[in-house]
Every structure is written in C-alpha cells, then in structure tokens.
Amino acid sequence: MYTLYKKEIFTFLNSLIGYIAVGIFLIINGLFLWVFPSGFNIIDYGFASLDNLFMLSPYVFLFLIPAITMRSFADEKKGGTIELLLTKPLTDTQIIMSKYLAGVTLVVIALLPTLTYAASVYLLGLPKGNMDMGGLWGSYIGLLFLASGFVAIGLFISSITDNQIVAFMLSLLISGFAYIGFGFIASLSLFGKADLFIMSLGIEAHYTSMSRGVIDTRDVLYFFSLIVIFLLLTKTVLESRKWEKQEKQLPLPDNRKL
C-alpha cells in the first residue's frame, strides 16, 4: 500500500501538469490576495486576517483537485494497467486508500506555501502578531476537510471513465454543485422550512462554519460521511469491474441435446 502511495505522489510530481496545477493555485491566490485591487486583496482589506484566502481557495480547489485526481483510475484504465493493479496482493480498499491519501498529500503540499501568507499577515499586524491564530488554524482545518471531500469525489469520477478530460470536467461539475449547488437551491426559497435542511446538505454551509474557527462535531461528521460515501462508491465501481471480468471468464453453458 505504501509503495502505491509513493508511486501516485511521484507520478504526479514528475509530470508537468502537476507543477502547472500547483503553480496556478499559488499564482491565482497570490495575485488576488496581494496584487489585484479586488475584494480579496489583504492590503486593501485593512485587517490582519487571512479570511480572504479561505473564501477564495475553495473556488481554486474546484480546478486544482480535479487536475490531481483525474488520472487516478482513468489513466490506469486507458493504459490497460488497471487489470494488473487489481491482481496485485492488495485489497480494493488498500488501492483506493493509497490513491486517496496520495491526493490529500498533494493538496497539503499545495497548501504549505500559503503559510508564508500567514507569516506575512502576522508581521504586518499592528501591533505585530495581532492576529486570531485560533481562527486561522480552524480555517486551515476546514479547508483541508473541504479538499479531502473534493479528492474523494474526484477519485470516484476517475473510476467510472477512462478519459482524463471527462474525469476533470465531471469532477469540476459535481464538486461545484456539492459546494454551492445546495445553497443556491435553498436561496430560491422554494421549499419553505426545508430550505435550511437543503442548505445543510451542501459543503459550503459546513465549510463556512469551520472557517469561523469553530470545529463543530456536526461539521466533522458531515465531511467524514461525504468522504466515506464517495470512497465506497469507488470501491463498488472496482468490484463491478471484477464481476464483469469473472462473468466473461465463465464457460458458456452447453445447450446441445443429449
């Protein structure tokens, strides 16, 4: 399992698309937070806070994470190596967890340079260090939970297709709907008292709650449930592929009369 985990990380880091994806994530965040005169600019914001980073990053993750996960299974299926992978002395759960943990690790690698933003804001505060550190770390935890959910969704989508572009687009659409779709539906006020429940089905409501620095058990359970559901769906897809292969190998019944 550890060997496959390392292989997934090195495969991504040894590809040009890996560096492009992480580079774009850092460049977009850097430009909007420090350069462009926008509502996200920290200098214009006037407060020693990284709230704007945690507002912007989920939307950038909608593109970064599908780029990370799109080749997880789609590339294996297209290259014909999925059959070899499934015959290795690894369970389906170990294969899925290896790829999932590799995806989460790559997200953490992409997030690490943003700690320089935290250090900069810490030093720019008046007085120096005038910053809500509890809220900061709570927001990072919330962002990591959100990213982990996106990785689980992307892994499932990659398991149902052998086309990386299709996997990228579907992951983007489904992750985007899971993040803002339910909130948009609830804002239409079509379901009366059920609007609050519909909003709670979306990722945004739980991520926003955690971004305030408050780690609520309900939010943690939501993200764990989201991750487990999509990982189980991925396992079901892999198992169905094994069933199809076994059915093809079964001998056809002999219908000849005696």
Alpha carbons 258 and 216: distance in angstroms, whole number: 71
pLDDT at 193: 80
* pLDDT (tens digit per residue) in 219-236: 999 999 999 999 999 999
One-letter amino acid at 39 equals G
The answer to whether residue 168 sits within a structural domain is yes
Count of domains observed in the chain: 1
The answer to whether residue 84 sits within a structural domain is yes
Name every residue whose Cβ is closer than 8 Å to that of residue 79 and which is 6 or more positions away in sequence.
Answer: none
**Residue range 97-104: average pLDDT?**
92
Q: What's the domain range around 142?
A: 2-243
**Residue range 90-105: average pLDDT?**
90
Task: Confirm whether pTM is higher than 0.95.
Answer: no
The answer to whether residue 34 sits within a structural domain is yes
In the chain, how long is the greatest CA-to-CA distance?
96
pLDDT at 258: 42
The answer to whether residue 248 sits within a structural domain is no
The two three-digit tokens of residue 246, written as one number: 């076994």
Residues 11, 164: contact at Cβ < 8 Å? no
The answer to whether residue 251 sits within a structural domain is no
* pLDDT (tens digit per residue) in 23-41: 888 888 888 888 887 777 8
The answer to whether residue 253 sits within a structural domain is no
Is 10 or 148 the better-scoring residue by pLDDT?
148
User: Taking the CA atoms of the chain, what radius of gyration do you get in angstroms?
Assistant: 21
Neighbour-count burial for 185-218, b at 16+ CB within 10 Å, e otherwise: bbeeeeeeeebeebbbbbbbbbbbbbbebeeeee
Residues 29, 60: contact at Cβ < 8 Å? yes
pLDDT at 168: 93
The answer to whether residue 258 sits within a structural domain is no
The answer to whether residue 14 sits within a structural domain is yes
